[in-house]
Chains A and B, each alone.
Chain A
Amino acid sequence: MKPASFVYHAPKTVDEAVTKLAELSPLDGRVLAGGQSLVPMMAFRMARPAHLIDINTVAGFDRLAVDGNTLSIAACVRHAAFHRPVVAGPTGALLTNVVANIAHYPIRLRGTFCGSLAHADPASEWCLTAVTLGAEIVALSARGRRVIAADDYFEGMMMTALAEDELLSEARLPLLPPDAHFGFYEFSRRAGDYALAMALTTFRLQDGVIIEPRVGVGGAEGRPCRMAQAEAILAGQKPGAEIFRAAAEAAADAIDPLEDVHADAEFRLDLVRAVTRRALERAAA
């Protein structure tokens, strides 16, 4: 399973990278970051880019820093960067909690956070994280820079709002308030497999009741989504088994489930219920 031929480019600066992309994307040019998703597709010849623009060599693309109230993650920051919390507080802990579920150790040493967002696999944990936390995606091109809200970024299964000539240069996660709770739960067949369903939730407690609930479900549809109905059920309520069950049920009702060889519609919805409830339980623990 050898990839089809391509011309290889290794720009050293961001300007070089976007210029190359502008020139080559109409000619079937693609960006190569971690390669952990793209290269298997190339091996199967499901992807046959005529040009690969390797951004691993671009200066500054490994930047990971807190800018004000935002965590800024540049294009080549690896999954493994999050193995230990990168920032104090719930956001750092959340990312470390989630990353343990992503694939396997060697893949995490190469694969990138932004690469996951660009690839937009429905079962990507970072895509769910971006949507649930309300991230911003920065798209760079020769034409300039634009910022896309996560809600507007994911359009469908492996389809995003990125234009052909745009490079996902940065993801910006708003930091959760210091007293935020979070819970993540995913279901996969084996350790490290793509999740068949996953849920991420954050909320705060004020006088014992839930405020600012966020519930995101991924892996169940073409793209991750926030569950507005589930959030509405949680808001103003004390955390508890019944309310979590109701929220999970609402999430299942809202989902139009993906069907594939691993899960039919009914099973997928069973999983949505289970992962949502368990993510909430973890957040409340």
Chain B
Amino acid sequence: MSFAEFLNNYMYYIGAFGLIFIGLFILLTKKNLVKVIIGLSIMDTGIYLFLIAIGYVHEGTAPIFSKPGLNAEGMVDPVPQALVLTAIVIGVAILALALTLAVKLYKHYGTLNLRKIKEQKW
């Protein structure tokens, strides 16, 4: 298919996985702890976008029956949205814990450079 059709069909997947890979790259290569935590957060955002993009139906609206005559065929899938709600809260919990540990780590070591925080020997 042509490039425009390809982009129209897969744009959301490309965007979501682009975010996931940017986040993974930051996690693997950066030295500062706060940057690593930001990379984790970016990766999580990409995953949420991917999950929601799975549930989309062409020309679908939000699954809310605000008027009595709405048709259930033209609505998007509500299940991925419920999964993403749960996953966002879990991501927030991990982020809060990570930042607390970063605060305590700074108090002990005086630096946030991951290459220097290597007290534990092999």
Binding partners A and B: no
* Chain A residues engaging chain B, CB cutoff 8 angstroms: none
